[in-house]
Structure 1
Amino acid sequence: MKTAQQWYDEYAVSHQNETNQKIHYICVPAIFFSIVGMIMSIPSGFIQNTLGISNPMIGNWASIVMVFLLIFYIRLSFTLFLRMLGFGVLTIIGNYYLGQYLPLFITSVAIFVAAWIGQFYGHHIEGKKPSFIKDLQFLLIGPAWVLEKLSK
């Protein structure tokens, strides 16, 4: 199994251009946020009834998926796990409140599409294909890489 640093180093190969990096600092978290929003849009009555959880910020499909993502991250690094836990909690809270004012699924799809357009534009500038073309796990590494870069 690769270490977090090995993943970051490999991811960085196709993210050398400063403009592409700046685009990623905005678009990668936006994509993560929008995916959480789309997953939170799935009716969660089953989870709430089965587990007896009435809090909509905990009793939703995104929280369940987040647990599995955090298992992936903790296997790489405890520090990475803590960063992604914090970011994950913020995205769930943000999407909960966003859904109070706007239709969450439609808004999430719009954010998702706009952010991917930005990503592909950034890679056009970079002149290199996105890392996930090589390995889909890079879709999970991208948010961690952004948090790592922004924490320096």
Structure 2
Amino acid sequence: MSDPRTIHSLLDQYSDSHRNPTNELIHFVCVPLIMLSLLGFLWWLHPLVAIAAVAACLAYYWKLSRPFSAGMLVMALVMLGILAALPPMTVLPLCIAMFVLAWIGQFIGHMIEGKKPSFFDDLRFLLIGPLFVLSFLYRRFNLAY
């Protein structure tokens, strides 16, 4: 078996509970919404807190895969740009609603799948979920990761 810390091994483990096409589709929508809402919570505290969290996550992604870290940087910049464009008073209520609805979607997807979410076994998978979504885009455009 390959080293469990490699990106390919982590994605393989994550995909074991994400094979149902409906669950995958739900994840393609809900994982980015959860990311945006979490960044929004941090942004609401202070924009620098959100930026620091992005930097920490990007450092982890850099260790796993430089191409993925580049993709996640683009996603994070887009999300931070959205948050910066929102009226400050709307950030927290909007992010609470997104967070709750997206997690409901995730759990519905796992009920359809018939398997528990991966992060129940390993919290790292909370950071691998966005890479799982990004991996479909990379494969679609023949980008190595």
1:135 is aligned with what amino acid?
D
Query: How far did 1:3 drift?
Result: 1.0
Q: What are the equivalent positions in structure 2 for 1:131-150 lying under 5 Å apart?
A: 131-150=118-137
Deviations along 1:64-112, whole A, 9 cap, x unmatched? 11110000000001101101111111111111112x2751011101000
One-letter identity of the residue aligned with 1:133: F
Give the corresponding residue for 2:69. 81
Q: What is the percent sequence identity of the aligned residues?
A: 40
> What's 2:48 paired with?
60
* Number of residue-to-residue matches in the alignment: 136
In 2, Cα distance between the equivalents of 1:19 and 1:144?
Answer: 18
d(CA) in 1 for partners of 2:38, 2:119: 16
Cα separation, 2, equivalents of 1:101 and 1:62: 14
Is 1:130 aligned with 2:133? Answer: no
Asked if 1:6 is matched to 2:21, the reply is no
| Equivalence for 1:18 | 21
TM-score (norm 2): 0.90
Write out per-residue CA displacement over residues 104-136 of structure 1, whole angstroms, 9 at most, x where no aligned residue.
011101000000000000000000000000001
1:49 corresponds to which residue?
none
Which of 87, 101, 106 is the aligned partner of 1:114?
A: 101
Extract unaligned runs of 5+ from structure 2: 141-145
**2:50 corresponds to which letter in structure 1?**
A
1:35-59 Cα deviation digits (max 9, x unpaired): 00110000x3xxxxxxxxxxxxxx5
- Superposed displacement of residue 150, structure 1: 2.5
Separation (CA, whole Å) in 2 of partners of 1:105 and 1:39: 9
The residue number in structure 2 matching 1:94 is 82
Q: Give the equivalent residue in structure 2 for 1:28.
A: 31
Gaps of 5+ in 1: 45-58
Q: Which runs of 4+ in 1 moved over 2 A?
A: none
Equivalent residue, structure 2, for 1:48: none
Q: What SS is found at the alignment partner of 1:2? A: coil
Q: Distance in 1 between matches of 2:13 and 2:137?
A: 18
| Higher Cα radius of gyration | 1
